[in-house]
Structure 1
Amino acid sequence: MSIKLKCLSHTPLRGLNDPGADVVAEVDAVIARSRAEVEAFDPELIVLFAPDHYNGLFYDLMPPFVIATAAEGVGDYTSLAGPLSVDKDLALDMARHILASDVDIAISHRLQVDHGCTQTLEEMTGSLTRYPVIPIIINSVAPPFGPYRRVRKLGEAVGSFIAGLGKRVLILGTGGLSHEPPVPLLKGAPDEIANFLIAGRNPTPEFRAARQARTIATGQVFGTPECGLTPLNPAWDAAFMQQLIDARLEEVDQFDIEEISKAAGRSTHEIRTWVAAFAALRAAGDGYTARRDYYRPINEWIAGYGVLSADGR
């Protein structure tokens, strides 16, 4: 058994808003290096922790955790559309193990996933179908949120399952770091927005285009006095990444949801995917060795953009 981990920020604005040629070249280079490492590792299975952005999951039924036995990318922004190569039987076995570990998780046999899931899978493998994958969606944008200790325990349950497989497993976490795109809140929303947040699956092309245009426009002014959203917080990002590198995972149990939202932005809770990924890696073996591959705050992409890598021991 051999296990590797990659945790990456994602941004739907990559390729749409221009942060400058030097920044694009830096990110392209770190993605290329990471993908080369994945290809050399040649995983037999990818376990992918990802968020959703009101494309597959809505308030008509908003579970904290969902494991998919089948999943299809919706193709939002520039992300790939189409089915993922989900190992259905193994996903069901993992779900049973998670439930037996006293962690509640929902099961979807037909899950729609967005760029939060597919962008990193494409960047690391070149497609949505190259390797068998088990997607696990962690609610990261739709309050209320459960405590971070529950996310850690989810990761530990997944890791103990992985430990028994005897496979080369790549664990991916995708989301965060500090960022606050223009994602609406249900509380106080006008009826049109509330109805979308509750049951907005399969929107018209015109609705999706307008929604995406708002995010693109926000990226063009993000970090300036014209934008009232919470700015990026590189210091917060650096401290969190170091916490994961140092394997101080139990400290996330003390994370205060409202404090994180105020300090780093409401969508920073996508770091839940990173917490779960590192908890899974640690639980699957005898600890890990981790490193920071990249970090840069990129306003045009509304992202504290970072990459962490780790190897299990």
Structure 2
Amino acid sequence: MTAAAVGLSHSPLIGRNDPPPDVRAAVDAAVGEARDFVRAFDPELVVLYAPDHYNGFFYKEMPPFCLATEATAVGDFGSAAGPLPVDTEAARALARGVLDRGVDLTVSARMTVDHGFAQPLEVLFGGIDRVPVVPVFVNGVATPLGPVGRVRALGTAVGEAAAALGRRVLFAGSGGLSHDPPVPVLDGAPPRVADALIEGRPPTPEQRARGEQRVLQAGRDYAAGSGAMIPINPAWDRLVLDTLESGRLADVDGWSVEWMGAEGGGSAHEVRTWIAAFASLAATGEYRMTSRFYRAIPEWIAGFAVAAAEPV
């Protein structure tokens, strides 16, 4: 088996509420470098860790993580819609391998995914249907959240199980670093909102459009300095990236749920996808980061990062 890893932030506001041209150019250059890295690696399989934003997973059943043997993208915020080319045989083998290693794992035979999964596939490969993939949902929004160490254990188990496949496997983590977008919260929600968060009734096109417009306006307000969201925290973001780059992944076991939220905002737990991806790579041996980019981008309500790593 040959392995590599990529971490890539996503944002539904990319292309809709962009930062100044020089910042966007720097992001594009970093993404281009990651794309070149992936092209050179030429993966036969992508294990993609990503969160959900109440498009596929709801409080009626909210697992800490879930592996898909089949998945379809909803096409929110202009991302691609339709089925993902899930390698079902590989997905089942990974699920068995993870469970055999003592990590509890939910399996979905019909997962619904959103821009958190679709955007990295579009950015890195030019579409959601270009490469065999195993989607792994990692909850980073819906409380209560489990210990971060369990996410590291998940990534380690997936990496060890993937080694038995004998293929070139890219482990990808999709998530923003510090960010606090207007994501609905169940506690204290009005009955109509609470019901939607629990039952997961699909929004009408009009409701989806209104929700997306609210996020877009929140990004504009935040960039103008008038938003009430927790600020992007570059110092905390550097700590996250330094920890991943150093390979000292066991350090994350001491990161409490409360500390992460206070430092990085309500959606900072999307970094769990990065932790899982790099833990998967670490399970195959020592690694080194080949590229690392970071920029605080209020227009996208995100500490935005791109990084790639390969075995030493």
TM-score (norm 2): 0.97
Displacement of 1:291 in angstroms is 4.2
Structure 1 window deviating more from structure 2 (286-295 vs 187-196): it is 286-295
Displacement of 1:201 in angstroms is 3.8
Distance in 2 between the 1:274 and 1:64 partners? 15
Q: In the alignment, is residue 135 of structure 1 matched against residue 135 of structure 2?
A: yes
Query: Deviation per CA, 1:237-257, whole angstroms, max 9, x where unpaired?
Result: 011100110011111000011
Displacement of 1:121 in angstroms is 1.1
Q: Which residue of 1 aligns with 2:286?
A: 287
Q: Which residue of 2 aligns with 1:159?
A: 159
Q: Which residue of 1 aligns with 2:311?
A: 312
Distance in 2 between the 1:12 and 1:226 partners? 20
Q: Which residue of 2 aligns with 1:297?
A: 296
Distance in 2 between the 1:73 and 1:181 partners? 21
Displacement of 1:164 in angstroms is 1.5
Displacement of 1:222 in angstroms is 1.2
Matches within 5 A, 1:126-275: 126-222=126-222, 225-275=225-275
**Conserved in 1, the CA contact under 8 Å of 2:34 and 2:307?**
no
Distance in 2 between the 1:170 and 1:42 partners? 9
Distance in 1 between the 2:291 and 2:239 partners? 12
Distance in 2 between the 1:14 and 1:224 partners? 17
Distance in 1 between the 2:228 and 2:259 partners? 18
Distance in 2 between the 1:35 and 1:291 partners? 13
Structure 1, unmatched stretches of 5+, are none
Distance in 2 between the 1:151 and 1:37 partners? 25
Distance in 2 between the 1:106 and 1:216 partners? 33
Query: Deviation per CA, 1:47-79, whole angstroms, max 9, x where unpaired?
Result: 001000000000011001100001111000021
Distance in 1 between the 2:41 and 2:235 partners? 32
Distance in 1 between the 2:241 and 2:306 partners? 9
- Kindly tell me: are residues 225 and 28 of structure 1, through their superposed partners in 2, closer, same or farther at Cα, counting changes over 3 Å? closer
Q: Which residue of 2 aligns with 1:46?
A: 46
Displacement of 1:200 in angstroms is 2.4
Q: Which residue of 1 aligns with 2:61?
A: 61
Distance in 2 between the 1:29 and 1:211 partners? 31
Structure 1 window deviating more from structure 2 (18-27 vs 131-140): it is 18-27
Distance in 2 between the 1:99 and 1:223 partners? 44
Q: In the alignment, is residue 80 of structure 1 matched against residue 80 of structure 2?
A: yes
Q: Which residue of 2 aligns with 1:28?
A: 28
Displacement of 1:23 in angstroms is 1.5
Q: Which residue of 1 aligns with 2:120?
A: 120
Q: Which residue of 2 aligns with 1:8?
A: 8
**Conserved in 1, the CA contact under 8 Å of 2:37 and 2:308?**
no
**Conserved in 2, the CA contact under 8 Å of 1:241 and 1:292?**
no
Displacement of 1:292 in angstroms is 4.3
Structure 2, unmatched stretches of 5+, are none
**Conserved in 2, the CA contact under 8 Å of 1:261 and 1:267?**
yes
Displacement of 1:4 in angstroms is 1.1
Q: Which runs of 4+ in 1 moved over 3 A?
A: none
Distance in 2 between the 1:64 and 1:249 partners? 19
Structure 1 window deviating more from structure 2 (174-183 vs 221-230): it is 221-230
**How many positions carry a matched residue from both structures?**
312
SS in 2 for 1:82: strand
Equivalent AA in structure 2 for residue 96 of structure 1: R
Distance in 1 between the 2:17 and 2:114 partners? 19
Query: Deviation per CA, 1:126-152, whole angstroms, max 9, x where unpaired?
Result: 111111100000010000000011000
**Conserved in 1, the CA contact under 8 Å of 2:73 and 2:80?**
yes
Note the aligned Cα RMSD (angstroms). Answer: 1.1
Displacement of 1:299 in angstroms is 0.2
TM-score (norm 1): 0.97
Equivalent AA in structure 1 for residue 28 of structure 2: D
Displacement of 1:223 in angstroms is 5.3
Displacement of 1:279 in angstroms is 0.6
Distance in 1 between the 2:166 and 2:156 partners? 17
